[in-house]
Chain A
Amino acid sequence: MILTAAETRDALHALQRGRRTRRLHDVDWIEVAYKAYIAAIVSLGTLFTSAAIVGDSSLGQDTLHQLRNDGPTVIGLVVAVGIALGLRSGSRGGPLALEPADVNYVLLAPADRAVVLRASAYRQLRGVGLAGLVGGALAGLLTVQRIPAATNGDVAWWILAGIVTGGATVFAVWGSALIASGRRWGRVIVGLIGAVLVAWSLVDVFAGTITSPASMLGAVALWPLVVRPIAIVGVVLALAVPVVGLLGIGGTSIEAAERRSGLVGALRFAATIQDLRTVIVLHRQLAQERSRPKAWLRLPAGKPLGHACWRRDWQGILRWPLSRVGRVAALGAVAGLCAYGTWRGTTPLVIVAGIALFIAALDAIEPLAQEVDHPDRAQGVPVERGDLYVRHLAVPVAVMAIAGLIGLAAAAVLDPAPGLLLVGAMTIVPVAFAAAAAAAFAVVLGAPSVGSGLTLSFPEAATIGLILRQVFPPFLAALAIAPVIAAREAVHQHGDPIAIAALAAVPSLVIAAAVVAFLRTRKSVVF
C-alpha cells in the first residue's frame, strides 16, 4: 500500500506528538533552568564582548564615506562565500540531518519522500531562520553604536536592516544547500557556481558596482545609511532560493542522507562533549575527505635508521587530498590578510587570524593526532609517549611555516612594501611554532573527561574552566601575530619596528615552549 500525502503527514504528526509527550514527561526542569542560565550568561558575554570589540566611538567622515560606498559589496562578498559553502554542503547531502531511524523507517516507507523531507526541512528552517534574525539584529545593534547620530542613528532602522539582511542571508545559504542536495549537483558543479558567485561579488568590490544578488543583499544591511531600491531585488531573490529548494527536495539522495544522518549525530555529540579531534575526524568523513592512494611526491630513500617520525609525518602530509591542501593554503592566506588588516589598524582582525591559524594547524598536526587516537600503538614503542608527541611536532611546524609564507604572499599582493614584508617574515617564526603547539595542546588534552577536576568543581567554575580550555589554543595562535601590532605601534611612535617586532615574538614562543614541555610530560598511560 502506498500512502497518500495526507496519510504520510498524519503518521509523521502522530510520531511527533508521541515524542513530544514523552519528552515533556521525561523533562528535568532543573536541568532546563540551568541550561537557560548558561545560555543567558553566554549570550550576554557574547553581546558585551562584541560591543567591546566594535567599540562605540562614532566613525569619521572618511570611514563613513567608505562604508557607504564599499560596505554593500564587501558584505555581499561575505554572503557570496556563505552561499558557496552552502552549495558545497548540499553536494554532500546537506543541509538536512535526519535521524538514522528516520532514514530506515520513514524514508524506506512507501510514502512520498518530498512530504517527509519537507516536514524535516521546515523544522530546521525555523531554527536557522531564528538564528539569522537574532544574529542580524545583534549586528544592526552593534553597527548603530558607531554611526554618528547626525547621519542616521535610529536604532530601530538599523536593527530592522540587520534582521532583514541576517534572515535573507541565512535563507539564501540554507536554500542553496537544499537546491544542490535536491538536484544532486556534484562537487564540480557546485564549485563552479560558487566560484562564479564569489567572482561576481569580487568584481562588484573592485568596480564599486552593485550588480550581483549578494551585493544587493549587502545594500539592505546599509539601508539606513543609503537607500538603494535595488536591494529589494536581493531580498526577493534570497527568499526565492529556499522555495526552489523545497520544491525539489524529493530528489535528495537517500544514500547521502543515510551517510549524513549517522555522522551528523556523532558530530553533534562530539561537539557537545567538546571532543575537538572527533569533530575533525567526523567532519572529514562527512566531506568524504580521504588520503590519496598515491603520494604527491615520493620521499627519497633516507637512512635506514632514525628520523622515523620526520619521515612518517611527511609521508602522511604528502598524501593529503587536494581539498585539505587547498584548505590549509586558504586559511594561511586568510591569516595573512587579517594580519595585514591588523597592520592597517583593525586590531580585532587578529582574532580571526588566530582562529584561521589554529584551524590550519589542526590539519598540520594530523600525524601526532593519529598517535593520540591510538594510544595502544605508542604503548608498544620504546619511547616515552611525551617524547613521541614532541618528535611529531617538527613537520607540523614546517607545514605552518609554509602556510605563513602563503599568508605573507597574500599580504604582499595588497602591499609589497619591503618594511612590511620584513615584519611579516619575522612573524612567520612565532606563527609556525605557536599554531602547531596550540593545535597539539588541544588534541592531546582531548575532551574533558568525567571525574576530572574541571567536571567535579562547582558549575560556574567548571564552565569558566571549560571555556578557557577551548579559548587558550586559538589565543596562543593569535598571540603569534603580536609582532605585527607591535611593529605598527613602533612605526606610529617613530621607533624601530623590526626590533620591537622581534621582542613581541618572545611571549608566544615562550608559551609554545611551555606547551611543548607540557607535552613531554605525557607518560605512557592513557589520561
Chain B
Amino acid sequence: MAVLVADELTKEYGDVVALADFKLSVDPGELIAMVGHNGSGKSTFLRLVAGLLEPSDGVLVVANAPAGSTKARAEVSFVPDQPVLYDDLSVNEHIEFTARLHGELEWPERADALLDLLGLTARADDLPSRFSRGLRQKTSLVLGLVRPFSILLVDEPFVGLDPSGQAALTELLVEAASAGAAVLVATHQLSFLEHATRCVALRDGHTEFEGKVDIGRIQSLLG
C-alpha cells in the first residue's frame, strides 16, 4: 500500500508555477531518485511532502494523513539541501534534542553507529556552527536518520561531501530503503541513479519521465 500519494499536486509562488498537476505514488521500500535542472520542482515537491510548504491545489497524502499534519510529521524525515542547525548546540546535543522531539528512546546506539559511519565520532561534542560545509551536511544527515521514519526525504545530499562521505551516505540511503522506508532523493548526481529503484525527472514543474531507471534516457532528457 502506497505510503505517499500525490495527485494533481500544484504549487504556485505568486505567478510562478513551481509544480503543476504532479502525480506520484510511492510504496514502502522504494528508493526514488528525483532529477531535473535547477528550478524544475524537485525541492518544492520534497518540501511539500515534509509539510514546509502548503499545496496551492491537489492532494498530498502521507501515511494516510494530509501532508504536514502531526501524524504525517511523525512518519516523515526531511534533510534539507542547506544544513539548518542551532549555533549553540553540539552535535550530540542536536541528536538528543531531535530524538526527544520524536520520542525515540534508543537513540544513543543508533547515533553512535551513524556518527561512526560518517566520520563524526571525534567531533560529536563540538559545535557544528564551527564546522565546514561538508561536516555540517553530515551532521544534518545524522539528525535526519537518527529518528524513526517511514519516509525519508533528502534534498541534494551529496553537495559538499567527500567521496568517502558520499559512499557512506549512499549506503545509508540504500539501507533505509531495504529496511522498508520510502526514500526520495533529489539530486543532480546521475551516478546515484544506479542505486535507485525508480526515477522521476522534472522540468519546469512538470513530469518529464517516471519509471524504472534508464540512465541513457535520463541523460538525454536532461540534455
Binding site for B on A (CB under 8 A): 1-3, 7-8, 10-11, 14-15, 18-19, 22-23, 26, 99-101, 103-106, 108-113, 253-255, 258, 288, 290, 293
Contact = CB atoms under 8 A, between A and B. Distances in A.
B89 A109 contact: no
A255 B67 CA distance: 13
A347 B100 CA distance: 60
B98 A105 contact: yes
Interface stretch (B70-78, B110-118, B166-174): B70-78
B29 interface: no
B50 to A, nearest CB: 6
Interface string B95-134: 0011011111000000000000000000000000000000
B190 interface: no
A2 B84 contact: no
A293 B15 contact: yes
Contact of A105 (B53, B71, B88, B101): B101
A108 B88 contact: no
Contact of A111 (B50, B70, B88, B98): B70
Smallest CB-CB A-B distances: 5 pairs? A110-B74, A109-B101, A1-B103, A11-B100, A104-B84
Nearest to A288: B14
B70 A14 contact: no
B73 A109 contact: yes
Nearest to B97: A15
A182 to B, nearest CB: 15
Interface of B: 14-15, 50-54, 68, 70-71, 73-74, 76, 78, 80, 84-86, 88-89, 93, 97-98, 100-104, 143, 148
A25 to B, nearest CB: 10
Contacts of B78: 104, 108
8 contacts: A1-B102, A1-B104, A8-B101, A18-B97, A22-B89, A105-B101, A110-B71, A258-B52
Contacts of B74: 1-2, 110
B209 to A, nearest CB: 29
A108 B73 contact: yes
B70 A254 contact: no
Given A108-B73, A109-B73, A100 B100 contact: no
Contacts of A104: 52, 78, 80, 84
B128 to A, nearest CB: 10
Contacts of A113: 70
A10 B71 CA distance: 20
Given A1-B102, A110-B102, A255 B97 contact: no
A116 B80 CA distance: 21
A240 to B, nearest CB: 29
Contact of B71 (A2, A103, A112, A258): A2
Contacts of B143: 105
Nearest to A261: B84
B97 A14 contact: yes
A108 B50 contact: yes
Please indicate which of the listed interface residues B71, B85, B88 has the most CB atoms of chain A within 10 Å of its own CB.
B88
A19 B51 CA distance: 27
Given A103-B52, A103-B84, A105-B143, 13 more contacts: A3-B101, A10-B100, A18-B97, A19-B88, A19-B89, A22-B88, A101-B86, A108-B52, A108-B73, A108-B78, A110-B74, A113-B70, A254-B52
Nearest to A102: B86
Given A1-B102, A109-B73, A11 B54 contact: no
A18 B86 CA distance: 12
A19 B86 CA distance: 10
Contacts of B80: 104
